[in-house]
A and B are shown apart, each in its own frame.
Chain A
Amino acid sequence: MAELVLKNVEKAYGEVKVLKDINLEIQTGELIVFVGPSGCGKSTLLRMIAGLERITGGDFSIDGVRMNDVPPAQRGIAMVFQSYALYPHMTVRDNMSFALKIAKKSPAEISAAVDKAARILQLTPYLDRLPKALSGGQRQRVAIGRSIVRDPKVYLFDEPLSNLDAALRVATRIEIAQLKEAMPNSTMVYVTHDQVEAMTLASRIVVLAGGGISQVGTPLELYERPENEFVAQFIGSPSMNLLPGEVIETGETTVVRLENGGLARTHVPTQSADKGLKVKIGVRPEDFTETDGDAIHAGTVEITEALGEVTLLYFQKTADGAQIVAKLPGIRPELRRTEVKLTADSNKVHLFANGRSLLYR
């Protein structure tokens, strides 16, 4: 039951500003995911919300109360760490009751809260074990249980799944989604570098890059209407292809003459003044289709990767060193070393000028 507001928040280490102009409003009940390349400051931002890092500029408030100088324990938050951070000398029960003991709750209250959390997370048989006697997934659940017993307003997750193996990661991801479902009023902030986690869990994704917020939006907004080249290439795998060119026709449908000789049509509208504008078009690998007519890209396939449901085509590098990748349905290994012409539906062709999408101006 909490609304988080960050206003012009910044973080500086001495002279170096690692985060600046962070403006973000998180509504009650949302699950917000911070994504970004490593070193973009996403964990730092989470730790600032937690109170483990000092906020060096701007204001941060929870439910309208300024939290910049409030100690972590009084912010009504709970945090799940990447390495779980379980207390190794305490049993699961003691790990989960530590915060309540510190808060001087009565033993009956503590044991009721712990038992309830253990039931939700299926940890009841392990309550008297030490963390070292648990598997990775169980440890992760204890870490989550430690948060639940405190009944916080805001849950913070710092890359909680990155220490788990692939299968367990999927299972735990689903458990977290169910947990969120079961607690519709709690707000969660989740940091990850894994796109799939971001796309599946988030109600909104915050893409961080270069010390600021690149775009905020629902997962599909980011996928379908990226605001800039960075978001376009960061979301989706393999990354979106960017091809340079020049606008030759403007209007409801824009036509771009590409430097590789190709021709692209897009439903991103432009004004007549844009004629001759240097732009880049963006096409996701999965949006390419084979064609005999006007091609966006034509070239020789260097490598194919047949994954069963789809086949990835890697083309010879273009003159400016870009690697074009296409994802065609079905099993198509015979396309290797052949000439392939590709086009895309004009609804799915993105248009960028100076790094920013022409959809947003």
Chain B
Amino acid sequence: MHPALQGLITIVVGVGGCIAYYYFSNLFLDKVLFPAKGAMAGRNINRANMVRPWLFLMPALVALGLYLAYPVFATIHLSLTQRVAGGGFEFVGFENYVKMSGEPKFWEALTNNLFWLIVVPAASTAFGLLAAQLSDRIKWGNVAKSLIFMPMAISFVGAAVIWKLVYDTRPAGQEQIGVMNAVWLSFDEGSIWSFLFLKLVPILLVAGFAVAIALMTWALAKPVVQRNGPVSGWRTAAAVLVGAGAVWLIYKSIFGILGIATASLPYGEPQTWLTMPFWNNFFLMAVLVWIQTGFAMVILSAALRGVPEDTIEAAIVDGANPFQIFFQIKVPQIMGTIVVVWTTITIVVLKVFDIVYAMTNGQWETQVLANYMYDKLFRANDWGVGSAAAMVIMLLVTPILVWNVYNARKEMR
């Protein structure tokens, strides 16, 4: 049979099946099981109405149970067992986890995931907010928004292929088809543009990142440090933890700045971007940022339009400039939405797999947890360690997911 015809039949059968299920099961409930006539009509109507929600929820419950709940428990089980030669499993306790924590590749994946976790949601939300604000009042704003939103329609693998071309490398002397190399080769040693774009701007960006981290941490830690008002123990602990993380990031940033300043760059040589350890992570992250910015922009644009116009006018009368209006009036009023967008992207990031799989497959120190799990589970056929990696991902996602749902519900109220 022709594949197109097959697809059509699948659609018809699938959609038709759904409609048939709802229609006939409802009919069965009303006409056969609890008919609304006879001596028991009233009681039957009440009973039918109590059963009906469950009837309609059934397909979703079955599907979620079978494909979501059951696999979770099966994975927990698998992560605690080990295959024995000749078939069957044996219970080994936490041995898989111990084995996994002994592998440098796991720690590399975990560290990389942390980087993804910091950079991608922050960058996507920031760019999304910027795009939403800037495209708000201009005539071609909607066209710009459509263009920014378009990557959302591309699958992660498709996006990875597109960006692989962006990072493509041809031998020196040949025409470069990758944009990155084409731009790179247009820089000359010692020219003012090279200094501007390859030294000054990166240094400023990293410095800006460090300052932002410092400010955010200070805002969080201020009540604890200044000790005005009661401060609970867990809050102090959280502040210390965040503070330590911030100090580490700032330390890294300072070294990054020194590195950029002193590095001698190989001008004129085409670069294989995806094989540069550490930096290649950011090249991969760019793909996800490119995709998720559209999502953040659409949600935040709607939220920005929901900010009451008269609070903005009141701020204008109060003498606030556009930046103060944006940061002190608009952003605080949409903070709830920003948090929801941020956490939603965070969850996407924790599960990131396709991009890494399609672009580097975890080579050159770009491994992430999901791809590590895939490696163990399907390539090394080590179901125990693979499941253990899956559990680690789930443990990381769950608290963020709970927080996300909590915030989303709070926003809806």
Q: List A residues at the B interface (Cβ < 8 Å).
A: 50-52, 71-74, 77-79, 81-83, 85-90, 98-99, 102-103, 146, 150
Instruction: From known contacts A83-B308, A102-B324, infer whether A88 and B317 are also in contact, taking CB-CB under 8 Å.
Output: no
Flag if B310 contacts A72 (CB, 8 Å).
no
Q: In the bound complex, how far is the Cα of B324 from the Cα of A71, in angstroms? A: 15
Flag if B332 contacts A89 (CB, 8 Å).
yes
Residues on B with C-beta less than 8 A from A87 are: 311, 314-315, 329, 332-333
Nearest Cβ distance between residue A98 and chain B, in whole angstroms? 6
Other-chain contact of A52, B308, B311, B316 (Cβ < 8 Å): B316
Residues on B with C-beta less than 8 A from A99 are: 317-319
Residues on A with C-beta less than 8 A from B333 are: 87-89
Nearest Cβ distance between residue A318 and chain B, in whole angstroms? 46
Flag if A72 contacts B316 (CB, 8 Å).
yes
Q: In the bound complex, how far is the Cα of B324 from the Cα of A73, in angstroms? A: 14
Other-chain contact of A85, B314, B319, B332, B335 (Cβ < 8 Å): B314
Nearest Cβ distance between residue B72 and chain A, in whole angstroms? 39
Residues on A with C-beta less than 8 A from B324 are: 102
Nearest Cβ distance between residue A82 and chain B, in whole angstroms? 8
Flag if B320 contacts A85 (CB, 8 Å).
no
Nearest Cβ distance between residue A128 and chain B, in whole angstroms? 12
Flag if B335 contacts A83 (CB, 8 Å).
no
Instruction: From known contacts A88-B333, A89-B332, A102-B324, infer whether A83 and B310 are also in contact, taking CB-CB under 8 Å.
Output: yes
Residues on A with C-beta less than 8 A from B335 are: 89
Is B269 in the interface zone, CB < 8 Å from A?
no
**For chain A, what secondary structure do more than half of its interface residues adopt (helix, strand, loop), or is it mixed?**
loop
Other-chain contact of B317, A73, A82, A90 (Cβ < 8 Å): A73
Flag if A85 contacts B316 (CB, 8 Å).
no
Q: Which of B301-339 contact A (CB under 8 A)?
A: 308, 310-311, 313-320, 324, 328-329, 332-333, 335
Residues on B with C-beta less than 8 A from A85 are: 308, 310-311, 313-314
Flag if A79 contacts B317 (CB, 8 Å).
yes
With A81-B314, A87-B333 known, 12 other A-B pairs at CB within 8 A are A51-B317, A72-B317, A73-B320, A74-B319, A78-B317, A79-B314, A79-B317, A85-B311, A87-B315, A88-B333, A98-B320, A102-B324
Q: In the bound complex, how far is the Cα of B317 from the Cα of A103, in angstroms? A: 12
Flag if B319 contacts A73 (CB, 8 Å).
yes
Flag if B313 contacts A52 (CB, 8 Å).
yes
Residues on A with C-beta less than 8 A from B308 are: 83, 85
Flag if A52 contacts B332 (CB, 8 Å).
no
Other-chain contact of A86, B311, B316, B328 (Cβ < 8 Å): B311
Residues on A with C-beta less than 8 A from B329 are: 87
Flag if B319 contacts A52 (CB, 8 Å).
no
CB-based nearest A residue for B321: A102
User: Number of contacts between A and B (CB, 8 Å)?
Assistant: 61
Flag if B319 contacts A50 (CB, 8 Å).
no
Q: In the bound complex, how far is the Cα of B324 from the Cα of A100, in angstroms? A: 13
A-B contact pairs, 21 of them (CB 8 A): A51-B316, A72-B316, A72-B317, A73-B316, A73-B317, A73-B319, A74-B319, A79-B313, A81-B310, A81-B314, A82-B310, A85-B314, A86-B311, A87-B314, A87-B329, A98-B328, A99-B317, A102-B318, A102-B319, A102-B324, A146-B318
Q: In the bound complex, how far is the Cα of B314 from the Cα of A52, in angstroms? A: 10
- Of B317, B320, B328, B335, most buried by chain A (CB within 10 Å of CB) is B317
Residues on B with C-beta less than 8 A from A81 are: 310, 313-314
- Of B308, B318, B329, B333, most buried by chain A (CB within 10 Å of CB) is B318
Nearest Cβ distance between residue A22 and chain B, in whole angstroms? 21
Flag if A50 contacts B318 (CB, 8 Å).
no
Nearest Cβ distance between residue B320 and chain A, in whole angstroms? 5
Residues on A with C-beta less than 8 A from B315 are: 87, 98
Residues on A with C-beta less than 8 A from B310 are: 81-83, 85
Residues on A with C-beta less than 8 A from B318 are: 73, 98-99, 102, 146, 150
Flag if B320 contacts A102 (CB, 8 Å).
yes
Residues on B with C-beta less than 8 A from A88 are: 311, 333
CB-based nearest B residue for A94: B328
Residues on A with C-beta less than 8 A from B317 are: 50-52, 72-73, 77-79, 99
CB-based nearest B residue for A47: B313
CB-based nearest B residue for A79: B317
Q: In the bound complex, how far is the Cα of B213 from the Cα of A256, in angstroms? A: 85
Q: In the bound complex, how far is the Cα of B128 from the Cα of A11, in angstroms? A: 37
Nearest Cβ distance between residue B329 and chain A, in whole angstroms? 6
Residues on B with C-beta less than 8 A from A103 are: 319
Q: In the bound complex, how far is the Cα of B337 from the Cα of A48, in angstroms? A: 34
Nearest Cβ distance between residue B260 and chain A, in whole angstroms? 36
CB-based nearest B residue for A100: B318
Nearest Cβ distance between residue B227 and chain A, in whole angstroms? 19
